[in-house]
Amino acid sequence: MGMMQLLLAESSFGTLDWLAIAVYFGVMLAIVWWVILQKQQTSTDYFLAGRNMPWFVIGASIFASNIGSEHIVGLAGQGSTSGMAMAHWELHAWVVVILAWVFVPFYYRSKVFTMPEFLERRFNPTARWILSVVSLVAYVFTKVSVTVYAGGVVFNVLLPEIHWQVTDTFALDAFWIGAVMTVVLTGIYTVLGGLRAVVYTDTVQTVILLIGSFFITFFGLSKLGGWGELQMICRDNAANFALWRPNSDTDFPWLGVLIASPIIGIWYWCTDQYIVQRALSAKDLRNARRGALWGAFLKVWPVMIFVVPGLIGYALHQKGLIDIPTKMANGQEVPDGDQVFAVMVRSLLPPGLRGLVVGGLLAALMSSLSSLFNSCATLFTVDIYEKIKPKASEQHLVTVGRVATVVVVGMGIIWIPVMQRVSEGGLYKYLQSVQGYLAPPIAAVFMLGLFWKRINGAGAVAGLAIGFIAGMVKLTIQAMTGGEDPLITSPGWLVYIGEYNFLFATGWLLLLSILVIVIVSLCTAPPRAEQIVGLTYATATADQKKESRASWGLTEVVLTVLVLGLVLGLYLYFSFWLK
């Protein structure tokens, strides 16, 4: 039996830091215990929090579910190495507005548990099966492994002295100890508390997350000498730090960004179980819509509190005020962007605040993972298991959901070593490239399905299947042709496919998916009128239109204008800030 060895004499953490983290965990424990006492009697209780959530909890949960440790670690990393390029993905608040106004009314009225279930209503059971499997694969490939990996990176920098000597020849370092411990703790409260535990803890975690990241930005700018100093240093590297890059840029050509960013955004924010499940838990349509708009408002701020700290980290490194570790990439030594956030926490913050910010990081890690675990359990139980065993009792379904959660945790941990190979260009870039290959067929099916009643089940199935296979082929070739030691070096055309920019590849995948869906639909019989009533804009009933109009008022309009105005303002400012 090995023992945990803590060499605390060298630790960057003090008593106040540990106290802040202990208070954070105490609050989380109290919330989860309160939720457990509520009893999860039915699948609706467990998977959708009894459909009784108010708008401010929904919005906070949408935001906290999105902002995981991969955001904080990965965005700061991309900010320090490629400037504002990734800000396009973080200015997706406008897409969340689309969720509120375009998608939420259809989802909420249909009373579905999952997005695949909505596809079955609109198309057929096969479409539901495909989306269920694709979503579960996507969660393991992207969200579980990336979130756990990001958390491990931070533990490795902040507490490198922790290791566990399992046997005489085998030891676990801080990376694996931190990652696995957090996953296990999160898994426990998700398994016990269901979605209600997830959304209430998310609300608290959102506050901690925003406060913690604000302090990183504040102390970083203070040490650097202010915003003007940051601009001056970034101007020296303007070509690499600009929001818009020329089309010759190998990583973020402006046309590729304009094509891929909305596709990934619509898939992620408007059709992904992970996000939409929060809106489905609302007490009524007004709360669902307003909750999405509140989430959109919160989504405006990551550029300032996650990307900008990365820029500050780069500037501090250039001035010799902090030291960012390096790594080998494409044969040369470059700063390891994924370690920037942790280095800034360790170097800039006073005792107590350091613990609070790490608490914020743990909040991000745990909120993303808990949301993910619950969504995976919902997808597997409702879309796959319940189809196989339709007579299973409510309590049995809850138990199956809990087992499914545990399995997904294990699969995500197993995938981490593979992910480390693909993510050499940066954690967040890896995340967006994988999502770029998964998003197009799903976004195409949902958009065409809502706005064109002629699209049928055969077209949807063909588009999902062919689009998903094409995306996975591209991802596989990319993984085998990239890195320091590529597995494939010939023939030339295969290497070209592997190295082809992921942003343009996303656009081609969307075009392929649309063509397949439209052609197959037009070549087969149209859907029956009674099958699509109320499920497309063209077939919405008079009662549905009336209910939808009654669900919004001045508050929703003001929130929408405010969010869109803030997004436009940030775009305009950062388009010219290095001129």
Residue 163, φ and ψ in degrees, nearest 5? -150, 160
| Dihedral (CA of 113, 296, 451, 503) sign | negative
Q: What sign for the dihedral angle of Cα 357, 358, 359, 365?
A: positive
Q: What is the pLDDT of residue 2?
A: 41
Q: What is the rounded CA–CA span in Å between residue 32 and residue 38?
A: 10
Q: How far is CA 43 from the centre of its chain?
A: 25
Q: Would you identify the CATH topology of the domain 3-99+127-576?
A: Sodium/glucose cotransporter (1.20.1730)
Every domain of the chain and the residues it spans: 3-99+127-576
Q: In whole angstroms, give the CA distance from residue 554 to residue 467.
A: 41
Measured from the Cβ of residue 532, the count of other Cβ atoms closer than 10 Å reads 20
Distance (Å, rounded) from C-alpha 190 to C-alpha 185?
9
pLDDT at 466: 96
At a CB cut-off of 8 Å and minimum separation 6, what does 57 contact? 199, 200, 202, 203, 291
Write down the pLDDT at residue 161: 66
Whole-angstrom distance, CA of residue 69 vs CA of residue 574: 24
CB-neighbour burial class of residue 147 (10 A; exposed 0-12, middle 13-18, buried 19+): buried
CA angle at 384 for the pair 471 and 509, rounded to the nearest 5°:
15
| pLDDT of the residue at 11 | 47
Q: Is the Cβ–Cβ distance between 256 and 79 less than 8 Å?
A: no
Q: Calculate the alpha carbon distances from 186 to 194, 198, 368 in Å.
A: 11, 10, 10
Q: Are residues 155 and 69 in contact, defined by beta-carbon separation less than 8 angstroms?
A: no
At 16 the pLDDT is 84
What are the DSSP calls for 423-484, one per residue? GGG-HHHHHHHHHHHHHHHHHHHHHHHHH-TT--HHHHHHHHHHHHHHHHHHHHHHHHH-SS
Measured CA to CA, the distance from residue 491 to residue 232 in angstroms comes to 45
Amino acid 100: pLDDT? 93
CB 334 within 8 A of CB 81: yes
What is the mean pLDDT of each successive set of 10 residues along the chain, which is 579 residues long? 38 75 81 69 57 82 75 73 80 93 86 85 91 81 71 69 68 72 72 66 74 83 88 82 84 89 92 82 88 93 82 85 73 71 81 78 71 77 82 80 78 66 57 82 94 94 95 84 69 83 93 97 93 86 86 93 95 86
- As a three-state string, the secondary structure of 188-224 is HHHHHHHHHHHHHHHHHHHHHHHHHHHHHHHHHHHHH
The radius of gyration of the chain's CA atoms, rounded to the nearest angstrom, is: 23
HSE-CB for 395 with a 13 A CA cutoff: 2
With tokens 């399992």, the residue in question is: 166
Amino acid making up residue 527: P
The gap from C-alpha 353 to its chain's centroid, in whole angstroms, comes to 26
- For 317, residues 6+ apart whose C-beta sits below 8 A from its C-beta are 80, 323, 324, 335
CA distance 210 to 204: 10
Give the residue from 428, 429, 420 showing the smallest Cα distance to 156: 420
Q: If we measure between CA atoms, which residue out of 414, 381, 383 comes closest to residue 398?
A: 381
DSSP 53: B
The pLDDT, as a whole number, for residue 561 is: 97
**What is the spatial distance between Cα 149 and Cα 178, in angstroms, rounded to a whole number?**
10
CA end-to-end distance (rounded Å), the chain: 61
Give the largest Cα separation in the chain, rounded: 73
Backbone angles phi, psi at 453, to 5 degrees: -70, -15
Q: List, in order, residues 6 or more apart from 131 with CB less than 8 Å away.
A: 115, 116, 119, 383, 442, 445, 464
pTM flag (> 0.85): no
- State the DSSP code for 270: I
Residue 441, pLDDT score: 95
542 token code pair: 């008079």
Q: Could you tell me which residues are beta bridge partners of residue 5?
A: 163
- What is d(CA 239, CA 247) in angstroms, rounded to the nearest whole number? 12
**Residues contacting residue 99 through CB under 8 Å, at least 6 positions apart:** 269, 270, 275, 276, 279, 292, 296
Read off the tokens for 19: 């106290």
As beta bridge partners, residue 6 has 162
Please report which helix (H) or strand (E) contains residue 163, including its range: strand 162-165
